[in-house]
Structure formats: C-alpha cells, structure tokens
Amino acid sequence: MRKIFPFFFIIFLLILISFSSYNINPFAEELTEINYSEEIRKPVVSGTFYPGSAEELKEKIENLLNKVEKEELKGELIGLIVPHAGYDYSGEIAAYAYKQLEGKNFNTVILIGESHYFRFPGASIGNYQSYQTPLGEVEVDNDLAINIIKYEEAIKFYPRVHQGEHSLEVQLPFLQTLLRDFKIVPIILGGRSSKLSSKIVKAILQELEGRDEKILFIASTDLSHFYPYQTALQLDNLTIKAIEKLDSDSFYQGLSYGNYYLCGGAAVGTLLKIAENLKANQVKLLKYANSGDITEDKSRVVGYAAFVISKNNPQLNLKEAYYYLEFEDSEVQCLLCPRKCILTEGQRGICGVRQNIKGKLYTLVYGRPVAVHIDPIEKKPISHVLPGSKSFSIATAGCNLSCRFCHNWQISQVLPEDIRSYDLPPEKVVQLALENNCQSIAYTYSEPTIFYEYMIETAKLAREKGLKNIYVTSGYINPEPLRELCKYIDVANLDIKGFTEDYYLKYCLGELQPVLESAKIMKEEGVWLELTNLILPTINDDMAKIREMCEWIIKNLGPDVPLYFSRFSPAYKMIHLPHTPVETLEKAREIAQEVGLHYVYIGNVAGNPAEHTYCPKCGRIIIQRVGYFVTSNNLDQGKCPFCGEQIPGIWK
C-alpha cells in the first residue's frame, strides 16, 4: 500500500489542479435555490480590487474617467463589454466603455457575468434587496428579476453563486458615479452553452416587452490569462475580431472549439444574442491593453478590452432616389424596376430599401453596404475579363425579387435597419479598391439594382480612376435606368434563373420577360455580358427548357456569350432539395455546346474540367482554373496561342 499511495495522491492533486484551472470548486455543497432575499449583498472585493473608502473610490473613478476621451457614438447605445480585474489593472480600460454613459440615463442595467467559482446548469439572478459598495446601495429590480426567474426554469437564484463573485461587483462603482436612479438585474451564468444563452435572452426580452424604460446591458469579461505578452496579443486579437463580427452562433462555435480565450465567454455570447435580437448593428472596440502594459512584466499577462454595442440608423445617409414620379396626396411611383411600386407616405417598395418620405422617394442604403470583400474576379463569376485579378465587391441589404433558393438571403431578404452596415461613400469605395490593388469594383451578392444610386455614383468615380465596373444582377430593372447605367458599367453577369414565366412567378415572385429584355439591352449598349443559370434538381432541370434557353441566347446575344451552369446547394427555403448532380450540369453543358455556344462553364464544382476556358477552334485549354483561382493563362494578346483564334473578352 505504501507504493500505491503516492500514485493515487498524485492523481488526486492533478484532479484538484484540473478543477482549479477551470475555476470550479469540486467540493462545493449543493447550491440552494431561493426566489428572493431581503439581504443586502455586501461587497467582497472592496479594498482589494478597488478602494474601500467612499472618498478614495470616488476620486479613483473620476481620475480614470478624466484620463480617457469619449468616442462619439452614432446611434442607440445597447450595451457594453467591460473587464473586471482590479482597477489598477483594468480600470482605465473599463473607463473607455463607461465614458459612453456620460449624459445618459437608464432605468435598469442588466449585468451579465460568468461564474468564476461554480459550474452549474443554467443561470442565477442575484435577487437581493440591493448590492452595496462604499458609494452606497444599488437597488435590484426585483419585479423584473422574479418575472425572468418564473419565465425560464433554467434561471434560479443561488445566493452562494453571488456571494464571492467579483465580476459584477466591480462594475457598480462606475455605474453609481455616472447614473442616477437606476436599478440592476445581476445575472451569473453557470456554463457555456448557446442553447442556454438563447433561453436566457428569450426570458429577458419577453419580460422587457412593453416596459417603457431605458435598458442597458453589460457583459463582464477579461481576455486571455497568463500567456507571454506577444502570445496574448495574438490570442486576444482573434477574440476581439470574433466579438466585432456580432455573430453569436459563430462566437459560440469558436468557444466550443477553444479558439477564443476569455473568462466571461458565456456573458459575451449572451450579450451578442441580445444585441442581435435588438437589431444592433455595430460592435466597436474602444480600447485594448493587458497587464504587461501596466506592470511591464510581460512574462505572464491578462488581457482587457472595452467594447460598445450600438444600433445605427441607416437613414442617416438618406439620398433622394432616381427614377420616380410624384403624385397628388404625397404618393410616389418608383420607376426603377418592373414592379413600379406606388407608395403612400411612409411606405417602402417591395425591395425594402426605397421609401416615400414626405412625398419624395428616398434610398435608405446609399453608402451603407452590408457586405464588403475583395474577391477573385472569377467568383462573380466572370471568366473573360482580367483573369486572376481582384475585384472590390460590395452589396447593401435588400432585393426586388424573393427567390426561394437564395444563397445570400441573410442580406437580400432583410431590411437595412436589421443588419449591420458600414459607412462607405462612393469615394471611399474607390479609394479602398485602389489601395488593395483591385482592378475592378463589383456590385454583387444581393441585387445591385436596388442600390442603383450608390452603384452608379461609385461607378462614375471608378471609371475616372481606370477601374472596371462589374454588375452582377438578376436583370430585374427597367430599360431607361439600365441604359443610363450601361454608360458606366463595363461587365455584367446576368442570372437567368429559369426559362418559364411560371418558374419566375412561383420561385422568385417575378417575371422572365424583363430579364431577357435586360440581357438584350446590355448587349446592345456594349457591356461585356456573361450569363449564369443555377440548376435546381427537379425544379428547373428540364433539358428541353435548357435547350430552349440556349437557343434564345444564340439568337439574341450570339454564340460568344459565356454561360455558366451553376450547382445548387441547399439554402433558404429550399433546404429540402439535394445538391445538383454533376451529371445534370454536364448534360446541360453538352446541350449548350450542341446548340452552338462557344464558352460554357460549370460553376460551384471545383476541379471540374469545365472550369477552364477552351479555344472553340482547336479545343486546347487557354485559361486553366481550380475553383476561383487561375493556375495558368496562355492567352497571347487575346488570342489562342496554339491556333491564333481571337478569344472575345476584356483582357487588359
């Protein structure tokens, strides 16, 4: 036994260390649940994390707030993410966030933290009478707390969870200094679960519904713990970028994979879910530092960050729309697309982004893209223009079609105020395109027709700077605005979604004929045109109709218009469909070539030979691709290097 004892003793110690590394007390007695306590929750880190006397504490906070500058915030303040270390370490970082509260009033502050000492299922609301600090007592909003507890069985009140927890306590003196006549609801989470957070958020928002009060949400967290300085910077940068994305599902997935290092991960994830539900659209980092910046000991540091979450009003960038009529009684009619929406005061068009405001039509998305990326031009898809080049790509919210199979429905089928956007006026778009060595700007992802004013003004500036303009469209636009746009557009990829009126009506809530007319107009106006047809299994994969479409292309647009048959992946309201069989795409390509089209591609199937550009005369590969990337380009001044055949396109 003497030989066995040390072995088990070592295992026992390892278990203890393991528990402590996750801040779990393995010997904690079973948590006792109550609904309400008349007790005053006493401070537990007064005199250690912050000064213990009221006078010193007040002076400390005022000094911290005076040291930092207030960053001007656009829009409505929703919440803050703040650190919770001792004030000597993280107080100045926290002050950057709390500075946002100057001159503001809130009735209730909902504080969210993650337990440092217990792991338990669900969450605990500290439903005491009040919380005490050296600056006085802060009353708990008991009515709200009790209602939340009653609504969701996963939420309880475990006094022991709150008795030693510092993460929320250290926030109170800042709030007491800056706010007046406010109450709190202190929530401690017992574990990290997206499902749990969703339950908590639902309970909170359900109970807040109908309350005519101003509510502030605060999540408490520090970042990485006890890594060397440079390592901490790298780890914390990943976490910061994840928070700034304002995507709670992605954030929780990263947490589950161990990608992000922060002690209040559940608190941050819950606040992100709240922000999403309240239509917040901006998370801004105000300040980052770590303990090494304060102590100069960079061997083992702790990271701290302050964020503000807000909801910006996209109507700040209102611009009067082009192409509309004014009627009596303040009615207007939009003439941009075939829908020709007639709108009374306050109404929006079907696109969701053009609104009648006091008898005039305004676009709500001018200079407010929701997607900004640098893509290979092949991703548009475009294969006969500047192969291998980069395209600066933008899109706003909204669409004038309602395709059931839309792959970008998260931006096309939402209102602009319900999604995060960026402040990028046309001149800034052009500047960024040039700075990133892009040779073109693509108006893409959603339907660029609905941000017509933004697109055309950007295109004018881009052309002056020598950039190509690419219009990736469904073609649902009226002839007059399209002809004007064509003066500034160099390239277009038009998506012919199907080849019957019934298909367009049933699956897109639109019409086919205006799309075909748009294709002919762009060809007439000298725009380099490429076409896409997304094939949905059992829906629009009738080979007779595909042949009919190809014959129409030959007759009206000519044999040199590139055509892509793209593979469908289950999306939006068509997730019940399978992926398009590759054999279907290949059969469609064979038919197109039989009809006489020279350049027929298969899209969304990386590695397929039909990604390449072949010479229609000698059949040799001229441009070789894998996915969106060009692996070889044998063009010789726009000609096949093997037989001299001219290959149509824009090559320089």
596-639 pLDDT per residue, tens:
999 999 999 999 999 999 999 999 999 999 999 999 999 999 99
What number is the average pLDDT over the span 384-400? 97
Look at residue 494 in the predicted model and tell me its pLDDT.
99
What number is the average pLDDT over the span 208-215? 87
Beta-ladder partners of 285: 307
* End-to-end CA, the chain: 83
Look at residue 26 in the predicted model and tell me its pLDDT.
36
Residues 352 and 338: their CA atoms lie apart, in Å, by 15
What number is the average pLDDT over the span 85-90? 97
Look at residue 313 in the predicted model and tell me its pLDDT.
61
Nearest to 145 by CA among 175, 176, 121, 110: 110
- The yes-or-no verdict on residue 262 having pLDDT over 70 is yes
- The yes-or-no verdict on residue 13 having pLDDT over 60 is no
- The yes-or-no verdict on residue 18 having pLDDT over 90 is no
Region for residue 314 given its phi and psi (left: phi exceeds 0; alpha: psi -120 to 50; beta: otherwise): alpha
Residue 488 has, within 13 A of its CA and on its CB side, a CA count of 21
Q: What is the mean pLDDT of the chain?
A: 93
Do domains 23-228+280-300 and 371-611 share one topology? The answer is: no
Q: What is the CATH number of domain 371-611?
A: 3.20.20.70
Look at residue 473 in the predicted model and tell me its pLDDT.
98
- The yes-or-no verdict on residue 446 having pLDDT over 50 is yes
Q: In what order do the strands lie in the sheet with 613-614?
A: 613-614, 621-626, 629-633
Query: pLDDT grade, residue 69 (50/70/90)?
Result: very high
What number is the average pLDDT over the span 346-375? 95
Look at residue 312 in the predicted model and tell me its pLDDT.
73
| Residue ranges per structural domain of the chain | 23-228+280-300, 318-363, 371-611
Residues 608 and 627: their CA atoms lie apart, in Å, by 8
Residues 565 and 601: their CA atoms lie apart, in Å, by 6
The pLDDT > 70 percentage for the chain reads: 95
Q: Where are the beta strands (DSSP E) in 251-357?
A: 282-290, 301-311, 319-320, 324-326, 332-334, 342-343, 354-357
Lowest mean pLDDT across 118-122, 266-270, 379-383, 480-484: 118-122
Look at residue 20 in the predicted model and tell me its pLDDT.
37
Look at residue 97 in the predicted model and tell me its pLDDT.
98
593's tokens? 């070539």
Please tell me the class of the 23-228+280-300 domain. Answer: alpha beta
100-140 pLDDT per residue, tens:
999 899 999 999 999 999 999 899 999 999 999 999 999 99
Q: Which residues contact 389 (CB under 8 A, 6 or more apart)?
A: 376, 377, 438, 439, 440
- Structure-model confidence comparison of residues 27 and 175, the more confident one: 175
* Phi, psi dihedrals of residue 48, rounded to the nearest 5°: -120, -60
Query: pLDDT grade, residue 419 (50/70/90)?
Result: confident
Look at residue 471 in the predicted model and tell me its pLDDT.
99
- Contact call for residues 528 and 649 (beta carbons, < 8 A): yes
Residues 554 and 545: their CA atoms lie apart, in Å, by 14
Look at residue 394 in the predicted model and tell me its pLDDT.
98
> Which residue has tokens 């409505």?
76
Look at residue 5 in the predicted model and tell me its pLDDT.
38
Beta-ladder partners of 137: 132
Residues 600 and 565: their CA atoms lie apart, in Å, by 8
Q: Where are the beta strands (DSSP E) in 274-345?
A: 282-290, 301-311, 319-320, 324-326, 332-334, 342-343
* Phi, psi dihedrals of residue 542, rounded to the nearest 5°: -70, 115
Look at residue 24 in the predicted model and tell me its pLDDT.
39
Q: Which of 80-89, 150-159, 204-213 has the highest mean pLDDT?
A: 80-89
C-alpha pair distances (Å), 220 with each of 262, 265, 267, 637: 10, 9, 7, 61
Query: pLDDT grade, residue 398 (50/70/90)?
Result: very high
138's tokens? 């802060």
Lowest mean pLDDT across 69-78, 164-173, 255-264, 596-605: 69-78
What number is the average pLDDT over the span 241-245? 94
- Structure-model confidence comparison of residues 210 and 591, the more confident one: 591
- Contact call for residues 454 and 314 (beta carbons, < 8 A): no
293-350 pLDDT per residue, tens:
999 999 999 999 999 999 876 545 789 999 999 998 899 999 999 999 999 999 999 9
Look at residue 38 in the predicted model and tell me its pLDDT.
87
Look at residue 19 in the predicted model and tell me its pLDDT.
36
Look at residue 30 in the predicted model and tell me its pLDDT.
62
